[in-house]
């Protein structure tokens, strides 16, 4: 039980981390894009 259980858990954990990292990166790029748009608008005004 022991070793296999921990291995399975590790795999799930790694997959979960990859998903959260992807989500985080998407969020960051979205924020960057919004900030650029906001700055452009400020410069135009």
Three-class secondary structure of residue 1 per DSSP: coil
Per-residue pLDDT of the chain (45 residues; tens, 9 = 90+): 556 556 667 888 888 888 998 999 999 999 999 999 998 888 887
To the question of pTM greater than 0.85 for the whole model, the response is no
Domain map of the chain by residue range? 1-45
Distances (CA, A) of 27 to 3, 38, 39, 41, 44: 36, 16, 18, 21, 26
């Amino acid at each position: 039980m022991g070793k296999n259980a921990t291995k399975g858990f590790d795999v799930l954990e790694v997959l979960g981390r990859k998903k959260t990292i992807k989500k985080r990166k998407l969020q960051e790029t979205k924020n960057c894009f919004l900030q650029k748009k906001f700055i452009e608008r400020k410069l135009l005004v």
